Structure 1
């Protein structure tokens, strides 16, 4: 019965297509004697050629077409897919390891079906033609199927007459919108009264080929053979066929479309382009010819199939730090991705329903309502149940009631995990907030894992903390491409599937009729017990485990709220990752516990999207690093950032050039510099709105005391003199976890102080001036040489931009003397660099010994310069390109 239904459908389809297409089939008689499974391999000039081929190849066999999932699942075609026995294929235009694995599995399954007698229609190129000829390139599906299936009839089909159709790429320069064009065609058919349409002449040339005659020595050989068949007549020139004899357009400017599609690389740094070429050459295992370096050269032409293009795009993402959901198809698009300028959807973002919180809080003062994190959250959620709490572009907007329900349901699953410590590896998001809160509600210790440290760093962290389970997302891990040995992944997608609608409903109802039950079920830790475990940045040494207690975190939140005079009516943009101490405390826990709305974005380097989120969600303040702020400011369009009234930057010195650039476009903004350190939960000091001294890191917040002492004698120093910064107070941690070396505390004046390792000075008003890391000083001839001080004038001359920092200074002391090196992405000689230092007032020993030009300054996931890696380069003598 199924075959008769298919035959009827194809008959009707043939009659419908005949209204527009005059189809001539050449060589159909050659198929009559084929016995066994058949593999039909056509070229692919337009979306309309599959129904034409399927409905006109009538030779007594049912052909199963392979259909990409976007088309397969579309409302327009989905009802027919099962009837014609189509085979769904994952769409590799959106790249991921999951799609890669599914495609490999697909090839195995189709090969199995062929071996069992099924017949298939498969397009070897795997995509629509982008020009008037077919490029199979490095596609692997035809070769791998023929490698696995020996007893199969191969039928090649060359389609002519469709290039230039609205269903191909010629009219738009890219894949056309199928639904929109189908609707337009339908309206034209109605306008032409069905029977009065000009017809497009289409020819199908059919050539059965003995499998033994195919060049199967390699994928490349087979693909070149197929291309030579498809393009035997030199390819096609785009032809326009009107839809009416009486009205409508009579011609189309295809050349204008070609000009519009040219990729402009004029603003891409030459170093980035060269590096992309080198990566390509490594992939191809051969040098690129000059013509192959042209931006318009397609990756197909270079021999890269869809899976290889996807792998290449993921490699570029990991190396350059920029993301795109679009798989590059040409050399030029690879360069755009590497430079963070890949095409994006620039439609205005739609704010999710529920984000605009119309309910006014009873008080405008943010307040943390308890002494432990879990209790503070539950009390806030019950008090502000219907107020908006968090949002992101994936989860939408959640009020406190929904956040409490979600965290409670998740906590029941996390509570069943054996170990007390639970790893968490998620970017800034509603999911990350929910998981941290759920872990605490479950009575477990959240361990925030820094995925930018790579597999070795993650393994070190999980082993040190005896983590057996890591809570994460399949979507995130699929994109990240990082594996952790020795732990079990606890995927949020699996958890959601295991929660019944009835359980969700019960928990939701409880928030109305039994809110006290949530308070009764909260774990009751001591406020001095660890609430979360973070790791130091590792910019200068191996990361150390930092346990922060409930008292530490809540004291810091309360101190920061009072210091900055935040309001409940404020809205925060949070995009720093939660493994970053500022990202966890300031942009996740603080707003949620105190009642301030927060919108998250997962990628701090996705500057264009961050600017668009600010334009849509209208946040009033954010916390960031100067590097990430530079990205946002450089990528924003006029007016997009106007909702911001306050930006606090820290983690590195804010360059004067960035301050000036930001204030120029946002003159009403309070751009404040602050100082924090993971061990202090993290905020220690900051400038205040209306009380700001640019160039300083502000005044200490009210939960800490600070003291400046001599770096060697540890004696307190007078005002204005630079020395070592010591800190004490409720927000200061109690010592590193499982740490064999001495803990970072000093006894001074009868008190125990945390030794920050940073050099500062206090002015007459108590404002702190940051002078650099003590470890980033070299003692030469009895004098202290500040590496940050040497770096500052160079960074002013060559400020960081969306590509990252352009200069960094690092040095070491050797037996034969010192070695202070300027690492730079710019063309600077040693003499030019030292002349800049002289102009800034440095002399004598305050100079550089060497300049090394590098492709990029290494940075950590937080955006900080990775000085530890730079120091290793000096010690190992690598990355050398000295300029005298």
Structure 2
């Protein structure tokens, strides 16, 4: 009782201060309050939302009459400046959807339950039904659902509609463009101060209220309630004209010209491909549960007009992102903006500027070398040698020195050391957090198992069973984003682990690194278990993309990885003044060995970006951090060049591409947009740690995958007889050397090795030839998969869900998937005897957990699928059918 009385006194005190402060700038006139109070409570108060300034003004003038609980956006009121007001007035937090995640649904459901419970207890609640600021002087409710769902649960409440006029045009409204709330608050305070508070010109505001009993309003379904609300809010004027009030009673302008109302971002809608429009329409129609009309399926159509609220838009956007692999900077407002997201064209806000320490000059340019024979040793030697030097950065963590990296990794290792299993899974994007986690696992003596979240649940489940995983390190935020589920796995969230690390522990570790580096180095080294000091022990387990029915587990030893890194250093002639942009995820073998660990071992700065498909953000990050090296695939490089403007890529000196054949036209585009860079094509496979060959700086031969790395042997043999072939002959590529892995995990895989001339050779399964002077020319793969954007798309994996649903009959198979690479991109087609649409077929794949690049481009219905004499599908016929559609000129260039 005493606590409740104290809170009430605090509420009155804060209300009084708020009322006095706002009275210095706003002259508010209430209309209809007495009539409203004649009707019984509790009251659900539903105002329009012209500006950020209307909630505090409404609370200041209505709270004494209603004592209502406000529903407040969590993203705004968790700020330290405003959080106390939420607590004092018992605000109900509700999430916004700038970055939609599945957790938002749970949070909004919890907020709705709290609103309903408050009304059922007889308390009044104020809720802004539109959920967003007015953009053009009108109130749009559209498909917002919250008000209708609350009223459906508590129909007995009295609804009080509130219409505020006079705030449209203030610095807290969209009348001059998107307002920046906290900057506007600071500006308003300084203006009040300059006006000596009491002399500030007043803005005249009219607040009109009207109450409606249950029988006086539409039934609580959004299709009827929302148009009624919208009509009432806009009843007096179709669009409110902005009002300007001088900022100072003596100085400054007396008039102001407002810009035209904001409109949707401008895109070249003709550049949106028809398949993208079809995909977006299918996803939207699935949510609407009806087809879009021709008039609706237009770029300017808003989701409000379609009756789709922000929560539904969040789900639609997330689904489109998962299917296409592109990400958004926030929620789209129109179909056209969703097209742009699906096409990867949405305008993103610029990245924050690179922190000044990133550009700290390099004081020495010693020859790059890897110290130590295992991963933990290589990191510790370099980190203690260069403790105070900047080494890694990303947008969330900022810039970290080796010192901070050591502190974080050692703190994590103390937690990882307690895990019972030797193998621990890791599921994180390229980031400082991923670097810290993997270094922490190595310092704890664990073997990371790197999981590919894009391969679908079946492949992930196979990976977990094959390696015996029980725990997987991830981030809660990232897991919500990718929506991965692995039954039987214990998730270890970095957020929770970090929360368990006290500031005292971090300071103690920092002081040890800074004041007693030699002692602390010895201590960390001595704490490593014997297997972490043996170069022949397994260092990591990666996975192939599953060219057969399940991905193969590839264990790489410390010697494999460090040998490949040392060979790359020699071949690429890197130096310490280089810096790199790393965006390939760790589950990608190149992302693990080269853009993940190698920079940390040789003190080459690297900035991370978590989304390798976000070409616009990557270009901006290059322009901001000015790295000199990037490593990517030709497909993603093409995306970068599409988004780049002259000058964006001028810092680049080396662009390394691999994982798929590099088109010759990319060399010309690089010369134009990255004039200081050399484009180096290379070749690698996971089983070879992964780099086998690469073109050298100053020795580039377009159309080849370069020369083998130093210390690596290759040979070309006949695919059937395995006899050695002379130069200029196409055959099977074999690789030998310290980079070659020891063999696959599991007993159900055939040996990939051949033994010739006293050496063990790895059979890559790829076709190549070698020139007289040692350059390798890649000619394609024998296995049935496509490489798209560096990702190996398994055609059998895409086919399996259809084979299960439509098993063969005595008449033959009923479904088969084949694909080819064309000048315009990949073309993956489902051939089937069943009446399936493309939407239905891709829905089947999505139900199986496939996303991103794992989708069909076309469905073709045949009366009968071609078969071999054995009764199996004749894929050569299907492939020829697709290849015949490529123009002859394009086929020659392939």
Q: TM-score, normalised by structure 2?
A: 0.84
CA, structure 1 residues 670+41, in 2 after alignment: closer, same or farther (shift >3 Å)? same
1:211 corresponds to 2:214 = yes
Using the TM superposition, give the Cα deviation of residue 820 of structure 1 relative to its aligned residue in structure 2, in angstroms. Answer: 8.3
Q: 1:539: Cα distance to partner?
A: 5.3
The Cα shift of 1:608 comes to 2.0
- Report the alpha carbon displacement of residue 230 of structure 1 after superposing the two structures with TM: 2.3
Aligned position for 2:94: 89
Q: Does the CA-based 8 Å contact 1:23-1:202 persist in structure 2?
A: yes
Structure 2 distance, partners of 1:803, 1:652, is 9
Pairing of 1:142-291 with structure 2 (within 5 A): 142-172=147-177, 175-185=178-188, 200-216=203-219, 218-233=221-236, 235-243=238-246, 256-258=260-262, 265-291=269-295
What's the secondary structure of 2:454's corresponding residue? helix
CA distance in structure 2 between the aligned counterparts of 1:225 and 1:631, rounded to whole angstroms: 46
State how far apart, in whole Å, the 2-side matches of 1:827 and 1:701 are. 30
Give yes or no for the alignment of 1:130 onto 2:132: no
For residues 552-589 of structure 1, what are the alpha-carbon distances to aligned partners after superposition, in whole Å with 9 as ceiling and x for unaligned?
Answer: 11111111111222223322221111101000001112
SS of corresponding position for 1:506: helix
SS for the counterpart of 1:451 is coil
Q: Which runs of 5+ in 2 are unaligned?
A: 1-5, 800-810, 828-836, 866-872, 887-894
Gaps of 5+ in 1: 778-786, 789-799, 830-852
1:687 to 691, 695, 704: 695
8 Å CA contact 2:633, 2:790 repeated in 1: no
- 1:542 match: secondary structure: coil
Give the conservation status (yes or no) of the 8 Å contact 1:240–1:251: no
- The alpha-carbon distance between structure 1 residues 191 and 620, as it changes in their structure 2 partners (threshold 3 A), is closer
**CA distance in structure 2 between the partners assigned to 1:42 and 1:667 by the alignment:** 56
In the superposition, relative to structure 1, how do residues 59 and 79 fare at CA in structure 2: closer, same or farther (>3 Å)?
A: closer
Alpha-carbon distance in structure 2 between the residues aligned to 1:801 and 1:453? 14
2:91 and 2:379 map into 1 onto residues whose CA distance is 51
Equivalent in the alignment of 1:651: 659
Q: Secondary structure at the match of 1:256?
A: coil
Match of 1:483 in 2: 485
Q: Equivalent residue of 2:647, what SS?
A: coil
1:507 corresponding residue in structure 2 = 509
CA distance in 1, matches of 2:546, 2:652: 31
**2:299 maps to which of 281, 295, 298:** 295
Compared CA separation, residues 8 and 618, structure 1 to 2 (3 A): closer
Does structure 2 retain, via aligned residues, the 8 Å contact 1:577–1:862?
no
Structure 2 Cα separation of the partners of residues 252 and 737 of structure 1: 72
The match for 2:325 among 316, 321, 324 is 321
1:734 aligned onto 2:742? yes
Structure 1 position 378, deviation (Å): 1.7
Show the counterpart of 1:598.
606
CA–CA separation in structure 2 for the residues paired with 1:802 and 1:264: 28
Shift, 1:289, TM fit? 3.2
Q: Which residue of 2 aligns with 1:760?
A: 768
Moved more, 35-44 or 573-582: 35-44
TM-superposed CA distance for 1:419, in Å, is: 2.1
Q: 1:27 aligns with which of 7, 32, 42?
A: 32
1:767-806 superposed matches below 5 A = 767-775=775-783
* Aligned mates of 2:405, 2:751 — CA distance in 1: 38
CA separation of 1:589/1:241 partners in 2, compared to 1, >3 Å: closer, same or farther? closer
> Could you tell me which residue of structure 1 aligns to residue 3 of structure 2?
none
For this pair of structures, how many residues does the alignment match?
A: 829
SS in 2 for 1:464: helix
Distance 1:632 1:6, change over 3 A: same
The verdict on how the C-alpha distance between 1:612 and 1:188 changes in structure 2, with shifts beyond 3 A counting, is same
C-alpha displacement of 1:34 = 4.8
Q: d(CA) in 1 for partners of 2:267 and 2:580? A: 37
Q: CA RMSD in A?
A: 3.9
Q: Does 1:612 align with 2:620?
A: yes
Whether 1:344 and 2:344 are equivalent positions in the alignment is: no
1:751 aligns with 2:759: yes
Report the CA distance between 1:744 and its aligned residue: 1.0
Partner of 1:847: none
- Asked if the contact 1:388–1:397 (Cα under 8 Å) also holds between the matched residues in 2, the reply is yes
**How far does residue 5 in structure 1 lie from its aligned partner after superposition?**
5.0
Q: For residues 246 and 386 of structure 1, what CA distance do their matches in structure 2 show?
A: 54
Q: Distance in 1 between matches of 2:760 and 2:182?
A: 70
* SS of equivalent to 2:232: helix
- Alignment-derived partner of residue 53 in structure 1: 58
| Superposed CA offset, 1:186-218 (max 9, x none) | 566677776777655533332222235443363
Aligned in 2, Cα 1:617/1:211: closer, same or farther, shift over 3 Å? Answer: same
Q: How does 1:415-494 map to 2 (within 5 A)?
A: 415-494=417-496
Q: How does 1:657-676 map to 2 (within 5 A)?
A: 657-676=665-684
Look up the match of 1:576: 584
Q: Distance in 1 between matches of 2:185 and 2:384?
A: 52
Pick from 115, 140, 145: which aligns with 2:145?
Answer: 140
Query: Aligned-pair distance for 1:551?
Result: 1.3
**1: CA distance, partners of 2:389 / 2:258:** 54
Q: How far, CA to CA, are the matches of 2:19 and 2:511 in structure 1?
A: 57
Contact 2:323–2:855 (CA under 8 A) maintained in structure 1: no
Alpha-carbon distance, 1:739 to partner: 4.1
| Alpha carbons 1:388, 1:597 under 8 Å: kept | yes
After superposition, the C-alpha distances for 1:614-652 in whole angstroms (9 at most, x for unaligned) are 223232222211111112222122222222211211111
Counterpart of 1:794 in structure 2 is: none
Residue 406 and residue 331 in structure 1: after superposition, are their counterparts in 2 closer, same or farther (change >3 A)?
Answer: same
Q: CA deviation at 1:112?
A: 1.9
CA gap of 1:863–1:364, structure 2 versus 1, over 3 A, is: farther
